[in-house]
């Protein structure tokens, strides 16, 4: 979707049209219909970077199947499931907001955006089975996961996900299953949200417009924008700027000059998927099945075999594989992105992170140079009977792993999604990728609480927010909230047509 609509003197400028800007823009406009909001997008279309349907796995991350969210053990030696519980609650904010947007017609085609797909975890080998059993027993105690099923029985696994067992040896196996998982096309979702936003009074969206610089002057941000069609630049100003530029966020943060950006660096890791459209395979697999990252692989490289539903068509996706790149963006990126991001204040952190993550560096080297034969070997450790003729390799999105100065020893791969806000609350930026798009509503909520407290404190703002995200000021994690959680999730599922 190409679009060009400019408004004068916006209150808010959103840089980028991915799921993060789209969500923040719609939530703010709903809270205060008088707000003037302008979106600038460098690419020709809406949400065609990390949020694009094929550039991410589309997993509605709710902690149901991702084993990397439960890596720790409690003092009693059981798997610690707290992080999964937190992510579930954050995901319910997205689900409720999407449900609201569907009821109000902001999202016109909910089934193009979100579909029900069971979330499964699969392990093999005695140690992994022990881990999954403990994780299941801990999760099952919590009302968020009371529908979780566990099995070590091959016949049941064959029923749930037959491809995983086809041609497999006799090693011990186990699987958990949550029926209420989702597959989300974040690109379609962002497009619907931006489309609605740009049709509202005092709101505009201009594609092929790249923000090239920004500076705070007398409490307002002066933003330099390049029209890529007309090769000319202009300046516009706004009281608040959100840098939701994905891989482009780091360089804009550096240009903004806010103290929080000092020492920040970024390292891009490209992604790739194997995709199959074979009707025979697609018919047999209806699930997102997550395993455990092999050896030195970072948590983001957890292998998974997923049903995807994009433009109404089902297909299978396996990966991710890492690839080398120095670009921070696919469409409007340049091979100079990485070298140009290196500054005197971040070069030491980059070197330090490299040295303290030697296994990761070797992992990336191996991944970046691997052949199709090796990629199929990885696929076969998941789906042993896979045949090369059914699969093709495609590019996924680029993750720019953010590195903070004090992160030196902590390493890049442990750095999740982080919102950076300046001291006056007039600029926010989003860095990092995981759990990413799934918790975009929770991220928007945090930004609004920090930068627009007046809107929420006003009676009208609070009650409107209760309409958008009914549980936004409630803690659904406590046992007495089980019924409330079921209630809000069921209402959202109905609006999104997710119910079986
Ligand atoms: C391989 C991979 C798999 C993933 N899997 C999942 C998953 O299963 N579930 C999940 O929830 N998340 C997943 N994620 C994370 C998720 O994709 C991201 O968190 C999310 O899409 C980020 O959205 P965004 O709006 O911040 O960025 P983007 O979608 O990248 O949007 C940023 C936009 O800003 C534009 N832009 C950049 N610079 C400028 C500029 N200077 N001026 C104007 N516009 C600019 C870009 O063109 C782009 O359209 C995955 C990510 C990757 C890479």
Question: What are the tens digits of pLDDT across the range 136-156?
Answer: 999 999 999 999 999 999 999
Helix (H, G, I), strand (E, B) or coil at 37: strand
Span 169-181, average pLDDT: 96
User: Which DSSP category does 80 fall into?
Assistant: P
What phi and psi, each to the nearest 5 degrees, are found at residue 2? -90, 140
Q: Considering only 18-22, 41-45, 265-269, 337-341, which range has the smallest mean pLDDT?
A: 265-269
| CB within 8 Å of 486: residues ≥ 6 apart | 143
CB atoms within 10 A of CB 342: 12
| CB within 8 Å of 492: residues ≥ 6 apart | 92, 95, 96, 98, 99, 100, 498
Nearest to 247 by CA among 221, 271, 216, 279: 271
Please work out whether the CB of residue 470 comes within 6 Å of at least one atom of ligand 1. no
Predicted local confidence at residue 295, as pLDDT: 67
Question: What are the tens digits of pLDDT across the range 77-88?
Answer: 899 999 999 999
Span 427-435, average pLDDT: 81
Query: Is pLDDT at 408 greater than 50 in this prediction?
Result: no
In terms of pLDDT, which residue wins out, 399 or 427? 427
Rounded distance from Cα 24 to ligand 1 centre (Å): 14
Query: Is pLDDT at 186 greater than 90 in this prediction?
Result: yes
Q: Does residue 245 contact residue 24 with C-beta atoms inside 8 Å?
A: no
- Residue 299 buriedness (CB in 10 A; 0-12 / 13-18 / 19+): middle
- According to DSSP, the β-strands at 119-124 and 288-290 are parallel
Percent of the chain with pLDDT over 70: 95
Residue with tokens 């930026």: 429
Q: Which atom of ligand 1 is nearest to the CA of 319?
A: 1
Please work out whether the CB of residue 293 comes within 6 Å of at least one atom of ligand 1. no
Rounded distance from Cα 51 to ligand 1 centre (Å): 4
Query: Is pLDDT at 285 greater than 60 in this prediction?
Result: yes
Distance CA 186, CA 286 (A): 19
Question: What are the tens digits of pLDDT across the range 289-313?
Answer: 999 977 666 666 789 999 999 999 9
Band the pLDDT of 39: cuts 50, 70, 90.
very high
* Assigned token pair, 250: 């780091």
Residue with tokens 């610690």: 80
* Assigned token pair, 313: 């068509």
Q: Which atom of ligand 1 is nearest to the CA of 430?
A: 26
Predicted local confidence at residue 327, as pLDDT: 93
Q: Does residue 360 contact residue 296 with C-beta atoms inside 8 Å?
A: yes
User: Which DSSP category does 42 fall into?
Assistant: S
Q: Which of 238, 428, 433 to mutate to test the pocket of ligand 1 (most atoms within 8 A of CB)?
A: 433
For 65-95, b/e burial (b = at least 16 CB within 10 A) is: bbbbbbeeeeeeeebbbebbbbbbbbbbbbb
What phi and psi, each to the nearest 5 degrees, are found at residue 140? -60, -25
Q: Which atom of ligand 1 is nearest to the CA of 59?
A: 8
For 406-444, b/e burial (b = at least 16 CB within 10 A) is: ebbeebbbebbbebbbbeeebbbbbbbbbbbbbbbbbbb
| CB within 8 Å of 400: residues ≥ 6 apart | 246, 247, 249, 250, 266, 267, 268, 269, 328, 431, 433
Question: What are the tens digits of pLDDT across the range 229-281?
Answer: 998 999 999 999 999 999 999 999 999 999 988 888 888 888 999 999 999 99
Rounded distance from Cα 129 to ligand 1 centre (Å): 34
Helix (H, G, I), strand (E, B) or coil at 54: coil
> Strand pairing partners for 305?
289, 318
Span 477-484, average pLDDT: 97
> Strand pairing partners for 150?
176
Q: Which atom of ligand 1 is nearest to the CA of 16?
A: 34
Predicted local confidence at residue 260, as pLDDT: 87
Largest Cα–Cα separation, the chain = 69
Query: Is pLDDT at 414 greater than 60 in this prediction?
Result: no
Q: How many residues does the chain have?
A: 500
Q: Does residue 258 contact residue 298 with C-beta atoms inside 8 Å?
A: no
Predicted local confidence at residue 80, as pLDDT: 94
Please work out whether the CB of residue 50 comes within 6 Å of at least one atom of ligand 1. yes
Distance CA 154, CA 162 (A): 9
Please work out whether the CB of residue 181 comes within 6 Å of at least one atom of ligand 1. no
Predicted local confidence at residue 3, as pLDDT: 84
Give me the chain's average pLDDT, please. 92
Predicted local confidence at residue 296, as pLDDT: 60
Predicted local confidence at residue 413, as pLDDT: 46
Please work out whether the CB of residue 319 comes within 6 Å of at least one atom of ligand 1. no
Rounded distance from Cα 50 to ligand 1 centre (Å): 3
Q: Does residue 447 contact residue 428 with C-beta atoms inside 8 Å?
A: yes
Query: SS3 for 215-276, per residue?
Result: EEECCEEEEEEEECCCCEEEEEEECEEEECCHHHHHHHHHHHCCHHHCCCEEEEEEEEEEEE
Predicted local confidence at residue 301, as pLDDT: 76
CB atoms within 10 A of CB 120: 25
């Amino acid at each position: 979707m190409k679009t060009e609509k400019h408004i004068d003197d916006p209150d808010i400028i959103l840089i980028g049209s991915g799921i993060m800007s789209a969500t923040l823009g719609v939530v703010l406009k709903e809270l205060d219909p008088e707000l003037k909001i302008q979106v600038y997008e460098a690419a020709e279309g809406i949400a065609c970077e990390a949020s694009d349907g094929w550039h991410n796995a589309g997993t509605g991350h709710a902690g149901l199947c991702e084993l990397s969210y439960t890596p720790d053990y409690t003092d009693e030696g059981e798997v610690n499931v707290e992080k999964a519980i937190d992510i579930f609650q954050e995901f319910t904010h997205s689900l409720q907001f999407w449900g609201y947007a569907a009821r109000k017609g902001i999202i016109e085609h909910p089934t193009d955006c979100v579909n029900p797909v069971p979330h499964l975890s699969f392990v093999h080998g005695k140690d992994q089975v022990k881990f999954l059993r403990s994780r299941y027993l801990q999760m099952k105690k919590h009302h968020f996961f009371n529908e979780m099923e566990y099995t070590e029985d091959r016949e049941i696994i064959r029923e749930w996900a037959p491809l995983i067992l086809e041609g497999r040896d006799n090693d011990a196996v186990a699987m958990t299953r949550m029926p209420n998982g989702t597959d989300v096309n974040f690109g379609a979702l962002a497009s619907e949200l931006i489309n609605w936003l740009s049709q509202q009074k005092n709101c505009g969206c201009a594609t092929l417009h790249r923000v090239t610089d920004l500076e705070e002057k007398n409490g307002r941000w002066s933003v330099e924008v390049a029209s890529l069609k007309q090769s000319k630049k202009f300046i516009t100003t706004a009281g608040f700027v959100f840098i939701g530029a994905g891989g482009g966020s780091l360089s804009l943060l550096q240009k903004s000059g806010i103290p929080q950006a000092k020492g920040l660096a970024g390292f891009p890791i490209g992604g790739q998927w194997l995709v199959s459209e074979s009707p025979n395979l697609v018919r047999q697999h209806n699930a997102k099945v997550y395993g455990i990252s092999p050896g030195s692989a970072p948590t983001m490289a957890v292998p998974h075999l997923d049903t995807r539903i994009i433009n109404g068509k089902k297909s299978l996706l396996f990966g991710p594989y890492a690839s080398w790149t120095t670009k921070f963006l696919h469409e409007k990126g340049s091979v100079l992105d990485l070298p140009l991001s290196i500054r005197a204040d971040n070069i030491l952190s980059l070197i330090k992170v490299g040295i303290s993550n030697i296994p990761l560096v070797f992992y990336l080297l191996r991944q970046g140079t691997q052949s199709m034969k090796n990629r199929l070997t990885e696929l076969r450790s998941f789906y042993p009977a896979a045949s090369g003729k059914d699969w093709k390799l495609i590019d996924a999105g680029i993750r720019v792993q953010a590195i903070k100065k004090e992160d030196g020893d902590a390493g890049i791969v442990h750095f999740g999604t982080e919102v950076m806000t300046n001291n006056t609350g007039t600029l926010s930026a989003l860095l990092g990728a995981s759990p990413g798009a799934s918790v975009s509503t929770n991220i928007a909520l945090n930004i609004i609480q920090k930068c627009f407290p007046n809107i929420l404190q006003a009676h009208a703002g609070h009650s409107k927010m209760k309409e958008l995200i009914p549980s936004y000021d409630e803690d659904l994690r406590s046992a007495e909230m089980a019924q409330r959680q079921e209630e809000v999730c069921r209402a959202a599922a109905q609006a999104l047509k997710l119910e079986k």
